[in-house]
Amino acid sequence: METRRIGDNGPEVSLVGLGCNNFGMRLEAEASIAVVHTALDAGITHFDTAEMYGGGRSEEFLGRGLGARRDDVVIATKYVPRPADQPYTPGVLRQRILDACEGSLTRLGTDHIDLYYQHYPDADAPIDEALETLDELVQQGKVLHVASSNVSGPQVFAADGVARDRGFARFEVCQFEWNLLQRDAETELAPTCRQHGLQIVPYFPLASGLLTGKYRQGEDFPADSRLAANAYFASVATDANFAKVDWLTGYAQEHGHTLMELAVSWLAGQEGVLSVITGATKPEQVRANAAAAGWALTEADYKAVDAGLAALA
């Protein structure tokens, strides 16, 4: 498994990471731990979770699954800001972050978080309060690197300016949805991250499974699939996207690869990408995901994919 380094002096992470959002929701403890163990065996060292996944059980199950291997991996987790119905007053976000960090450390069974994300920005609090608090956690050694998720280009720009001006720990990584069927980030967000030196961690690289090839247009979704379980995720299964999947499948097969290998490798080869987060509910899915980043696409491949998808737009 190829590895890439966080920043200039951070830890190395596997090019394919494991998203743990299924833990505590679609998977109970035993199944979650089996997925973690399979990921470790496959060379995955980047585990991505959040305090909101499974109401905290994702972090708990991940910590139990890693056990004595904790120091062999990079744990990324995320805090959510204050509840939307709680009025903002100065200091309330700071306390929310401090409490969230302590809760995550306890559930994970560790004394530090390698990569700590702002899961999404607080709607009213100034970014200064979040950055100052995160910097405090870095100074205490409870957090090693800080990151942001689900932000816009202007929010990346503003946060980086504040961190540099005030000498706070900077967001080093930005995580957002990006795949062959969802490319909005390419317009503004990804270029802004590159401009300000933030590494990119794409999530939903397989478009909720549509880019695995397991779904067929006009057929019912498999009973145990994400699209069958959640109407929000099922919204990706449009006629237009199925047409793109058909074209992408043909392109991958012509070059001796699978659709999933194209989807993951296409992201892995993008400028600034640190690691690609892939979710799984079964050990065999973990192994397939871990092996999917081995296609080194050429510039000609990228141009061909762009042209093929543009022709279907």
Distance of CA 273 to the CA centre of its chain: 11
For the chain, how are helix, strand and coil distributed in percent, rounded to 5? Answer: 45, 15, 35
Give me the pLDDT at residue 228, please. Answer: 60
**Average pLDDT per consecutive 10 residues, the chain (313 residues; last block may be shorter):** 95 98 96 98 98 97 98 98 89 97 98 98 95 98 98 97 98 98 97 98 94 75 65 75 95 97 98 97 96 97 97 90
Give me the pLDDT at residue 57, please. Answer: 98
Active site residue 203: no
Distance of CA 154 to the CA centre of its chain: 20
- pTM value is 0.94
Give 141's Cβ-side CA count (13 Å radius).
Answer: 2
**Rounded to an integer, what distance in angstroms lies between the CA atom of residue 210 and that of residue 236?**
8
| Phi, psi for 203 (deg, rounded to 5) | -120, 170
Give me the pLDDT at residue 225, please. Answer: 66
**Rounded to an integer, what distance in angstroms lies between the CA atom of residue 116 and that of residue 234?**
30
Cβ atoms 306, 297 nearer than 8 A: no
User: Residue 3 is inside which H or E element, if any?
Assistant: strand 3-5
From the list 157, 213, 199, 207, the residue with the least C-alpha distance to 177 is 207
Cβ atoms 90, 130 nearer than 8 A: no
| Yes or no: domain 3-310 corresponds to CATH 3.20.20.100 | yes
Give me the pLDDT at residue 247, please. Answer: 97
